[in-house]
């Protein structure tokens, strides 16, 4: 028996699409299989406890193999079969990839690269987000789908398109150029305002007519950075507008929640999901371990925290992940023993209440035939299926977690706009990368057992004790005020290199860097002094840095450490300024891992945030209800660890004490009554 939980009225037990249990789901592509296989599939789904199945994600070509009427007969049948089996459907609108005939009949729907070449059909998402013809054809399909299935009892979720912008977010064709101009007119009103915002007095770029304004197509020299930044904004908005068009049709015909699967991940940066999030009835993310990164597990934690940020703390769904290897990385690593459970719980710990996989049955042909699946090529006889069964049974035991929330005392200000702008051309150093900086601060806090909320610039930060602002190169006034307010209200705020340098037009805030935070930090940077690729610098505190240094002039701050060598020798490197009841820290270099961890400890101490020294390969995250704490401890290490959490372990069903070691590779989900109730 698990301890009963009580939830406060503000914490509805489950959002509309969920059932009060942890949902186990998957993508299913019945169009790849003969109908005789469907019966086996559905029987095995029931055996495994799958209760949400995404279908029709890539169904368009089967529904409409030629221009003309749709044939829904197979889709009707699979929907009925799933419904009869008691399996809910996450119904794809099917518009993600058009059938081959669309490119033949309407070649103008194909997307164009920056150098003018076309992306051809044969892969997926070969469509221009600004194509009027594509949208018309897609909306015809969505309307037919919504009319037919809007009230179908099996349909629990509408799944708009698929991973919008995964391959086609940036299109440079003439239709995109026209749409870009319309977007710019709405943003700037006049051509003069555009010329001013883009700084076109530079390099003879001044526009005399709107018709000359183009997407940032391939150039021989560096392009205009403000134009590039606006094109990224436009491209995100354009696909969001497309999502809205599909969602509007679905909402007109159906009361079922509408969402789409986001890609909060290291290798896709094209959509500003903070602007998308309010349009989704609930947040769903696709996440795959990325073995091209130095620490894929740290990135998983980052992605999950950021997804919770998009969900504004509400429960969210992993709409796709893999049981083992993917098929799109240079080397596709299989998951090690226990890794499936560990990675899944990494998401659940951070607020996911639904775990769905790509995909149900491994494809036998096509580009993803070596991608893992709940039901692998080896069928039910192999180890893969056994792991799926084990996972399902652990998820069943975690049902008491559903509806509980993650509470974090630390926040990291994350911004897609800053990411786009910070990584533009012609900066002091191309070695300073936005996302790795954000990852590294998050990773250091995770290694200290500190849970981090990821928030958009401009969010009210006054309830946090610790606020980290990595490389927020471009800032609005609202964002800089919110950060300063957090410090004044008592938070420890850390600002890192190349933050607060330009406004939202990518125009330098004059008067000494960082223009937006000079006063808050009590310092001025006269000059950036970046380092060569392999160079490092030493700090008086014993810390080490690389990539970046600044010539810092302190006006009103304590010097925590100075540069002992390098191009900024003798300049302050780390500073701290008491502000109101809080503090504002600046670090002007990219600290190595050990130095960063030491700084994170100092910041936590300054902020009064408790730490648990778990290291980089252990996750400790607590979800809570009004009455209980539920702490996830995930040991990615190949040795046992000691963890100070006592209570009932939902995974093993045993009561554990502070002294019960957690074996190598094992997970524990400890539920205990809150000692701080009423606090």
Question: Residues in the site for ligand GAL, rule: CB under 6 A?
Answer: 162-163, 166, 286, 288, 320, 326, 358, 368, 371
Strands (E), 333-403: 352-357
Structure tokens at 639: 């040795």
Q: To the nearest whole angstrom, how small is the minimum distance from the Cβ of residue 27 to ligand GAL?
A: 6
Q: To the nearest whole angstrom, how small is the minimum distance from the Cβ of residue 173 to ligand GAL?
A: 24
Q: To the nearest whole angstrom, how small is the minimum distance from the Cβ of residue 99 to ligand GAL?
A: 17
- Confirm if 183 and 234 have CB atoms less than 8 A apart: yes
First to last CA, the chain: 28
Q: To the nearest whole angstrom, how small is the minimum distance from the Cβ of residue 326 to ligand GAL?
A: 4
Q: To the nearest whole angstrom, how small is the minimum distance from the Cβ of residue 128 to ligand GAL?
A: 20
- Confirm if 25 and 347 have CB atoms less than 8 A apart: no
Q: What sign does the CA torsion over 450, 454, 455, 457 have?
A: positive
Nearer to ligand GAL, 166 or 435 (CB): 166
Nearer to ligand GAL, 321 or 622 (CB): 321
The residues near 165 (Cβ < 8 Å, ≥ 6 apart) are 129, 235, 236, 239, 263, 268, 270, 271
Tell me which residue of 279, 283, 215, 213 sits closest to 244, measured CA to CA. Answer: 279
Q: To the nearest whole angstrom, how small is the minimum distance from the Cβ of residue 310 to ligand GAL?
A: 17
Nearer to ligand GAL, 368 or 503 (CB): 368
Q: To the nearest whole angstrom, how small is the minimum distance from the Cβ of residue 96 to ligand GAL?
A: 8
* C-beta atoms surrounding 648 within 10 Å: 19
Instruction: Give the separation between CA 179 and CA 161, rounded to whole angstroms.
Output: 21
Tell me which residue of 415, 377, 104 sits closest to 273, measured CA to CA. Answer: 415
Bridge partners of 115? none
Nearer to ligand GAL, 371 or 440 (CB): 371
Q: Which of 163, 238, 339, 437 is catalytic?
A: 163
Catalytic residue status for 163: yes
Nearer to ligand GAL, 326 or 651 (CB): 326
Instruction: Give the separation between CA 257 and CA 279, rounded to whole angstroms.
Output: 11
Helices 35-48, 383-397: axis angle to 10 degrees equals: 50
- Hunting for tokens 């074996």 — which residue is that? 663
Instruction: Give the separation between CA 374 and CA 380, rounded to whole angstroms.
Output: 10
Nearer to ligand GAL, 48 or 166 (CB): 166
Tell me which residue of 398, 350, 401 sits closest to 49, measured CA to CA. Answer: 398
- Confirm if 210 and 180 have CB atoms less than 8 A apart: no
Q: Which of 238, 246, 320, 339 is catalytic?
A: 320
Nearer to ligand GAL, 359 or 492 (CB): 359
Q: To the nearest whole angstrom, how small is the minimum distance from the Cβ of residue 155 to ligand GAL?
A: 20
Nearer to ligand GAL, 95 or 546 (CB): 95
- Confirm if 497 and 586 have CB atoms less than 8 A apart: no
Instruction: Give the separation between CA 243 and CA 245, rounded to whole angstroms.
Output: 5
Instruction: Give the separation between CA 286 and CA 69, rounded to whole angstroms.
Output: 32
Q: Which residues are catalytic?
A: 163, 320
């Amino acid at each position: 028996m698990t301890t009963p939980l009580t939830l406060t009225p503000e914490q509805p037990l489950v959002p509309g699409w969920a059932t009060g249990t942890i949902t186990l789901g998957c993508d299913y592509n019945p169009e790849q299989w003969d109908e005789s296989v469907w019966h086996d599939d559905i029987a095995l789904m029931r055996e495994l406890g799958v209760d949400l199945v995404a279908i029709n994600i890539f169904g368009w070509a089967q529904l409409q193999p030629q221009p003309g009427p749709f044939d829904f007969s197979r889709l009707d049948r699979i929907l009925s079969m799933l419904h009869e089996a008691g399996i809910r459907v996450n119904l794809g609108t099917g518009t993600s990839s058009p059938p081959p005939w669309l490119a033949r009949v309407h070649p103008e729907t194909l997307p164009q690269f920056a150098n003018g070449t076309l992306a051809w059909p044969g892969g997926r998402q070969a469509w221009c987000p600004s194509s009027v013809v594509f949208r018309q054809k897609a909306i015809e399909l969505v309307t037919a789908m919504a009319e037919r299935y809007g009230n179908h009892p099996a349909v629990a979720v509408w799944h708009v398109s698929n991973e919008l912008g995964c391959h086609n977010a940036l299109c440079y064709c003439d239709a995109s150029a026209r749409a870009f101009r319309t977007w710019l007119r709405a943003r700037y009103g006049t051509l003069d305002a555009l010329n001013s915002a883009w700084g076109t007095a530079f390099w003879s770029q001044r526009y005399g007519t709107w018709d000359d304004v183009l997407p940032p197509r391939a150039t021989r020299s560096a392009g205009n950075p403000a134009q590039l930044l606006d094109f990224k904004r436009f491209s995100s908005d354009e696909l969001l507008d497309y999502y809205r068009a599909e969602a509007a049709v679905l909402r007109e015909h159906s009361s079922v929640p509408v969402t789409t699967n986001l890609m909060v991940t290291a290798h896709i940066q094209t959509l500003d999901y903070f602007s998308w999030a309010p349009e989704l009835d609930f947040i769903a993310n696709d996440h795959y371990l990325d073995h091209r990164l130095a620490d894929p597990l740290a990135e998983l934690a980052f992605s999950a925290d950021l997804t919770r940020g998009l969900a504004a703390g509400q429960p969210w769904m992993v709409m796709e992940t893999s049981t083992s290897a993917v098929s799109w990385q240079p080397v596709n690593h299989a998951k090690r023993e226990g890794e499936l459970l560990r990675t899944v719980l990494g998401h659940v710990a951070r607020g996911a209440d639904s775990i769905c996989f790509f995909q149900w049955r491994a494809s036998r042909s096509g580009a993803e035939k070596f991608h893992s699946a709940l039901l692998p090529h080896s069928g039910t006889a192999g180890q893969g299926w056994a792991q799926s069964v084990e996972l399902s049974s652990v998820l069943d035991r975690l049902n008491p977690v559903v509806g509980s929330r993650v509470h974090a005392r630390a926040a990291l200000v994350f911004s897609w706009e800053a990411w786009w702008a910070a990584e533009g051309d012609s900066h002091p150093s191309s070695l300073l990368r936005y996302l790795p900086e954000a990852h590294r601060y998050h990773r250091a806090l995770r290694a200290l057992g500190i849970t981090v909320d990821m928030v958009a610039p401009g969010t009210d930060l006054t309830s946090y004790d610790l606020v980290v602002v990595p490389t927020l190169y471009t800032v609005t006034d609202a964002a800089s005020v919110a950060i300063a307010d957090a410090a004044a209200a008592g938070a420890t705020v850390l600002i890192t290199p190349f933050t607060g340098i330009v406004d939202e037009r990518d125009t330098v805030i004059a008067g000494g860097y960082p223009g937006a935070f000079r006063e808050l930090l009590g310092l001025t940077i006269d000059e950036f002094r970046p380092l060569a690729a392999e160079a490092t610098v030493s700090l008086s505190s014993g810390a080490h840095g690389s990539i970046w240094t600044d010539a810092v002039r302190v006006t009103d701050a304590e010097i925590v450490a100075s540069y002992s060598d390098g191009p900024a020798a003798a300049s302050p490197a780390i500073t701290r300024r008491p502000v109101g009841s809080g503090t504002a820290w600046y670090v002007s270099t990219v600290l190595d891992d050990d130095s960063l961890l030491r700084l994170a400890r100092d910041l936590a101490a300054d902020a009064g945030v408790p730490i648990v020294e778990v290291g980089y390969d252990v996750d400790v995250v607590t979800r809570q209800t009004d009455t209980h704490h539920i702490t996830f401890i995930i040991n990615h290490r190949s040795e046992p660890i000691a963890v100070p959490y006592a209570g009932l372990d939902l995974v093993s069903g045993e009561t554990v004490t502070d002294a019960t070691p957690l074996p190598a590779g094992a997970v524990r989900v400890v539920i205990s009554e809150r000692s701080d109730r009423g606090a």
